Amino acid sequence: MKKLLTVCGLALIGLQNVTAQTEDTWMPKQLGIGVGVGTTGIVIDASTTLNRWLGVRAGVDIMPKIKVNTDLDLGTQGLNDNFKDMTDRANKINAEYRQVYGDDLIDLSGLPDGLPENMDVQGKLTNTTFHFLVDVYPFKHSSFHATAGFYAGGKEFVSVYNKTEGFLTPVTQWNSVINGEVDNLPPTALQYIEGQEMIGAELGDYFITPNPANNGNVKATVEVNAFRPYLGIGFGRAVPRKKRIGCQFDLGVQFWGTPKVYAPTYNKETGYQNERLTEEHAGGDGSDIIKIISSIPVYPTLNFRLVGRIF
């Protein structure tokens, strides 16, 4: 313990000496704040200078939640007609049986009242991030700078989901009946759904359908890395040297990895899951879309900021 304390003490003394020798050069001389706009959204940050060659800034980039609405044909019209005929026949049998025996022959409580044919879909872009950047000014009399640092935020970049809460509950009820997951549906009722299939979208080897655990909701997402290294160049100083107000322009890229597409799927071996979709198994147009999305490993960053010097 004494040796450890001695080593720590010597380290502190050495660090203090280094600071004393370099404080004129490395102590922050200026402090500023900046507000801007760009491909990262609304930029708000604080900045400081370490010396005339180096500056540091940290802040947040608030991306407005851009939403797009559309509608999706679920392709259940024909199935809905068959479903209505099926339930009408079952109700007729129940009425006749009830007159004689005072009870229902077929338990229909596990079946939905009807199947939706169209769904309102909403897509949302989410990209609010935190950034920490170091500016290097290689030329004494120029505001040109090279910048390195990182952005950090959530993994979910784009999401697409049903707009109405619980809209797909009838679909999950139907699929549960088809899979024999409804306990109170007796064998006598199975003849009315014999030959029917689960409701979902076939995308190559994937069968996309809502997970019953999500209470009638479905969501597909595009996800990227939460930590994103950044490299760029620009003009302007994070803290104006002579004037109180200045401007700064930045152009660079965030390295956010390979974007991944996730969607709720089902198969008999693994059941329901939120699965990553790959171009090898998506097939057709789905494969082309996933290939395009996955081939964008960087996010272009273009920002313009107004900066003000506090002192």
Residues with Cβ within 8 Å of residue 126, at least 6 apart in sequence = 63, 65, 154, 156, 157, 158, 159
**Model confidence at 13, in pLDDT bands (50, 70, 90)?**
very low
Residues with Cβ within 8 Å of residue 118, at least 6 apart in sequence = 71, 72, 73, 74
Residue-level pLDDT at 89: 77
**Of 145 and 12, the one with more pLDDT:** 145
Residue-level pLDDT at 27: 44
Cβ contact 134:147 at 8 Å: yes
Beta bridge partners, 273, equal: 265
Q: Give alpha helix (H) positions in 57-127.
A: 77-101
Could you give the 3-state DSSP secondary structure of residue 80?
helix
Could you give the 3-state DSSP secondary structure of residue 179?
coil
Residue-level pLDDT at 11: 34
> What is the mean predicted confidence (pLDDT) over 224-233?
97
Range with the lowest mean pLDDT among 36-45, 53-62, 200-209?
Answer: 200-209
**Model confidence at 8, in pLDDT bands (50, 70, 90)?**
very low
Angle at 300 between CA 299 and CA 306, to 5 degrees: 125
The reported pTM is 0.77
The 10s digit of each residue's pLDDT in 41-65 is: 999 999 998 888 899 999 999 998 8
Q: What percent of the chain has pLDDT over 70?
A: 84
Residues with Cβ within 8 Å of residue 163, at least 6 apart in sequence = 69, 119, 120, 121, 122
Cβ contact 137:144 at 8 Å: yes
The 10s digit of each residue's pLDDT in 88-102 is: 877 887 888 788 878
Could you give the 3-state DSSP secondary structure of residue 141?
coil
Residue-level pLDDT at 130: 97
Q: What percentage of the chain's residues is helix, strand, coil (to nearest 5)?
A: 25, 40, 35
